[in-house]
Every structure is written in structure tokens, then in C-alpha cells.
Amino acid sequence: MSRRVQVVIIGAGPSGLLLGQLLHLSGIEAVILERQTADYVLGRIRAGVLEQGTVDVLNRAGAGARCAAEGLVHSGVELAFDGRRHRIDLERLSGGKTVTVYGQTEVTRDLMQARSAAGCETVYQADDVAMHDFDSDMPRVTYTHAGQTHEISCDVIAGCDGFHGISRASVPERSITTVERVYPFGWLGVLADVPPVSEELIYANHPDGFALCSMRSRSRSRFYIQCELDEKVENWSDNRFYDELRNRLDTRAAEALVTGPSLEKSIAPLRSFVAEPMRFGRLFLVGDAAHIVPPTGAKGLNLAVSDVHYLHECLNAFFNDRDGAALEDYSRRALARVWKAVRFSWWMTSMMHRFPDNGAFGQRIQEAELDYLTGSEAAGRSLAENYVGLPF
């Protein structure tokens, strides 16, 4: 079967779904092809801190109502180190901005619901997705579904298929540059139905490694501790996890920690990765397909959203204003913001974790940096400006 649409979106993660929604509201027709089922996509547990800019785009997409009702607005974060804990007043230091704690899984669910309410098409369990002729004005995407082969001709392909997708892999090697840093540790995460340790997130630097107390709601917590890359989840009973978490927190937080059975426990490696450029003819890379940041700055989803915002603006000008040059702007605009978030995420990661080769000197330098950060208005402003999100 063959047909034609304006835009084919590969991947129904937050990037693909949000782009689909914004395009729909601009009267641009798009089909989403997703390899997995909707339930599988919703089963993935990811970070949960939304910048104000992200919340604004979700609202513009008509998918912000539940986030507005259930999201927790945070005006600060806490940094724990050297047995002490300091609050960074994000709202004051950033000139009035806050972040909203709301799980990425819920963002995805809201976007899926908005898409089906709008009657837009998503093909789940689309196999063997392949893209052709994206160096021409009339690219094509082929796939199989329920045993049938399909072909869609389009004007534009949006590669929203994550780090392991086929979009980036379809670009000839000579046309793409990638840079990468793999960190020598991972995060062991636990989700549990226990109240948060504190009103706000606590990022802890401890000689035994990083720890983070986050949350999904007033009754559900998300905890992380830095671990070895070859660590096995099976070796971490809930009790062992909570003992180690408590060890890495300040006394007040350790005493406030309420423990309970883990609903999920997993290990994730940390990596920084950027592919450049983000456009190849009529193929556009968006979100994790183009870049990965370590989770320390909570930037992954927020960066995907700013990519989508830029691409939507370019596609709107291209289709609705008939501006043929509009497509050329995307990569430059998106990458300028991407690299700043990559820098911030690397910096937070470097400051908060135990690195195998850093020794006592590295630990003391980190503590000096944290002391500076929590004692200097100028340093605090820089952290706050980046954490709440640079403008886009």
C-alpha cells in the first residue's frame, strides 16, 4: 500500500508525540510510526523535572492540563556535601522561574491521549522502518505492519526514534559527526511508594559516591545512587540500597528517609553524546536520536522539547508560509541550545560524582566548588539559570 502525507515521524516517545501534536494544531498532516506497542512505551521509567519552557510548550500543544493539576512546582533544589545541606533558591536566583516535577511517563501518556482525541494516526508495532531519498524533495518511508509492506511518500521525515533508532543510523557516515563521553559509573535507581525525603530534590556529593532523592508525587519517591558500571541489580536488595542511600545523605535527610518495597530497580549508564548536524536534506533528527546527556541536570526531556519547538517553527514556516529556506535554520538553532545543556549536564555530573582517578584531591576540589556555589550569588545564579532552563 502506498500513500502520501506531509510529515512522517519515526518514534512515539515524547519527541515524536509532541511534534505530532504541534503539527496537527498548525494544520500539517503527520503519521507516526512506532516500533513498540503503546503499553511498552508507557512502561519506560525516566526522569521527571520539567523546565517552565517545557510546561509552556505542553500547554500550547493542548496536553498540559494534568501537569498543571498534579505537577509539583519547585522553587529550589538542595545540594548536600561535606555533611551539610544547602538550598539553591532557583526562583529568586533565576529572576522568578521554577521547575515542575512531573514524570516523563505521564507526559507521554498525556500526549498519547491528546493525539487520539485529535484523531491523528499512530502506527504501533511498525517493523522494518526504512527511509529513502531524503536527499531529494520527495523522501519515502517504508515499513511492514501486520505482515503487509507499506510505503509513504512525504515532504519531511522527523527522526524522533531515540538513541538506538534507525534515523541517525541511516545517514551516510561521511555526512555526520558524533562526539561522545562515557562516564565510568552508572546510576542505580529505585522507585517506591514512600513520601519524599524533603519538599525539594536533594543532590548529594559523598566520598562514597553521588546520591539523589527525587519524587513523582507526594506519596511516590525516586532515588538514585552512583554505582559501578558492572554492578548487578540482583546484588542490591532494597535494604542494601536504602542503607547505602542513607550513608550518602546528610543526617537530617537520612533520618527523614522513609523506606518501602521497590516498585522498580534498574541501572543506567551515563553518557554525553551529540550528533552534528541535526538535518540531512529532508531528514531531521530530534531529541535522543541526536543527543544524550547524563541525567544529573535533568535535561534529557527538556532538550527534546526545545528541539521539537524549533522544528515545529521551521515546518510551520515551510508548509504554511511557503518559506522554502525555513528548513535550513533548524540544526543551527537546535544545536546552539543543545551544546549549552550538554555543558551544564557534564558540569553537574563532574561536580557531583566520585571519579575513580580523582582521589582525595578531586574530592576536595568538588567540595570547594560546592562551597563556592552555595556561598556566591554569582555562582548560584549561573546554576539556577541553567537548571530552570535557558530560553528558547
35, 163, 170, 234, 327 from 132: Cα distances, Å: 18, 20, 9, 44, 19
Residue 235: count of CB within 10 angstroms of its CB: 9
102, 244, 305 from 70: Cα distances, Å: 8, 31, 20
Identify residue 58 by its one-letter amino acid code.
L
* Total site size for ligand APR, rule CB under 6 A: 27
46 binds ligand APR (CB under 6 A): yes
Q: Which of 159, 158, 154 is nearest to 138 (CA)?
A: 154
We find the least distance from the C-beta atom of residue 10 to ligand APR, in angstroms, to be 5
Q: Which of residues 225-244 bind ligand APR (CB under 6 A)?
A: none
We find the least distance from the C-beta atom of residue 92 to ligand PHB, in angstroms, to be 20
By annotation, the residues acting in catalysis are: 74, 203, 295, 299, 387
Q: Which of residues 175-234 bind ligand PHB (CB under 6 A)?
A: 201, 214, 222
Compute the Cα dihedral for 313, 316, 317, 321 and give only its sign: negative
93 binds ligand APR (CB under 6 A): no
Query: Which of ligand PHB, ligand APR, none interacts with 16 (beta carbon under 5 to 8 A by kind)?
Result: ligand APR
Query: Among the candidate windows 7-15, 109-117, 292-300, 352-360, which touches ligand PHB by CB under 6 A?
Result: 292-300
Exposed / middle / buried, residue 48 (Cβ in 10 Å: 0-12, 13-18, 19+)? buried
Query: Which of ligand PHB, ligand APR, none interacts with 214 (beta carbon under 5 to 8 A by kind)?
Result: ligand PHB
We find the least distance from the C-beta atom of residue 24 to ligand APR, in angstroms, to be 17
Distance CA(265)–CA(236), nearest Å, equals: 9
36 binds ligand APR (CB under 6 A): yes
76 binds ligand PHB (CB under 6 A): no
38 binds ligand APR (CB under 6 A): no
Query: Which of ligand PHB, ligand APR, none interacts with 13 (beta carbon under 5 to 8 A by kind)?
Result: ligand APR
Distance CA(301)–CA(104), nearest Å, equals: 8
Distance CA(118)–CA(266), nearest Å, equals: 35
Positions touching ligand APR (CB under 6 A) are 10-16, 33-36, 41, 46-47, 104, 126, 129, 160-162, 165-166, 287-288, 300-301, 304
